[in-house]
Chains A and B, each alone.
Chain A
Amino acid sequence: MALVTKENAGLRLVTRYAVLTLVALVFAFPLVFMIISSLKPDQQLLQDTSSLRAFLPVGDISLDNYRAAFDRAPIGRFMLNSIFVTIVTVSMSVAICSLAAFAFVYMKWSGRDAALSIVLATLIIPFETIAVPLLLMVSRLPWIGVEGVEWGWLNTYRVQIVPWIVDALTVFLFVQYFKDLPRELIEAARAEGASWFQVYRRVVMPLSGPVLATAVILKSLKMYNEQYLWPLIVVQDEAHRPIMVGLGYFFQLNVAWGELMAYLTLISVPVLVFYLILQRAFIASIASTGVKG
């Protein structure tokens, strides 16, 4: 029999905080290490890794690494590229994937179930397997620009955006969410004279806050943090290069550790800002959909 006394409860509280603090530290250590190291010259940085000094701003502290990193790579350009590609892709993705999910869940058309199965089946295809065929395709696609028709999409923003707009996971998230919305709301809107698109815009989307947050967060993190292989293949010019490919600038003959840490710290700032803005939506969406980025 457990006796619940005041001391017991107090002890439990202390234990809980201790555990939470420990977990927070485990997650914070790499970040602290990154930021602290970005302030140290390479030699000291490497020496400090063998002791707790690695986490302390001690010794020869300066912003020299940042200055050098800016000299080495057009960081501002890379970040703008990544942010631009992320914003455009994510907005188009949630718009188009939610429309697709709407058609899959609410509208009746022949072949619907088969089509949905095929879309969801693409979840299991790793990107690496389609990278080469996709490269061949985009290298020959036409585009109507200011100077008429151009051929080939290499070294552009669109080659980094278009292939990523539609993905099965985002469609799936919306499909699951739409299935759980009360059907009568959709039927009431239709009976009230709404067209399919009006049902989508005025009833379904305004009620889709949680799934929108989830989709935006997952997709944004993917587009900003994980775009490496594809842009490495299709973007050769600096003007369109995203941040992750920019990492390569710091892995030349000798790895410039301090500058690398400075670069990583800088490119983390937008993620941090994004997180702070969407913090509440972030927590709510994980709580409601059980999906973690």
Chain B
Amino acid sequence: MINNFNFLQAKNIKHAVDVLAREERVCPVVGGTNVLVNMKRGPLPVDTILDLSGLSALRSITTDDGIISLGAGVNVAELLEWSKANSVAAELFSPMCSEFAGPLIRNLATVGGNICDASPASDLAPPLLALDASVVLASKAREIRKIKLADFFQGVRLTDRLPDELMTHIEFQQPNDERFYYYKLGKRKADAISIVSVAISIKYDKEKVKRARIALGASAPIPFRSKSAEEVLFEKAMDPQIVDSAAAAAVADSNPIDDHRASAEYRRRMIEVLIKRGLTKIADERVNSR
């Protein structure tokens, strides 16, 4: 009933995976913005808190051979600064990070925490899905494991992470010539939980869409990519009809919740509106840039 647990500070990644392998009921914590909310609501079902916040190895962002890797311990404020400074997918990361919670939480909340918490309304997930990112997991017992983010999410607050695994980073191919769109619909201007969020990445081959990635948050039990919408766009010119069909396909793929924040009906309508807007904006930019 009472919050009683050991508190261990990870000294390095090896120590962290050792603890995860050795101890029962270990809960990693970095920013604590999920864990401490849970603790306020009731005792945590854990024996050991494993603090990763001191692990500098988890806090770097690197680019190596066209692969960008975001450390699991990078917080949202740092991600925002980095994306601004390096203009990597800034059209996704800048608006997402600056609308993520408020400035206080952004100084704590980490990439790894957000992904491992696997909230349906995770704001980090849609941009990372649109970048086709992979989660990288380390453990004592096995090799480094890489899994596509799209497969990592298993259900509401459920992931493919095994209890002995540590998420070390998330990686994606450096974007090259993609066009992006991001929009978060919340109930107020700052510190709002997403009603729906949309991240789109489009790669053209001449006039046609070579590759589309359409990712949605707060639109189903997990953040996901709408394969049907992506298929509709594949090898098509983005004319208004195609845009409409893609938006409709995304709605069909979605399965949003009906709750006090918004009705499922509104969320569905907004998925349609926002995807149309995003695709239209990308198509218009394409026309204008020629």
Do A and B pair up? The answer is no
Residues of B within 8 A of A (CB): none
Residues of A within 8 A of B (CB): none
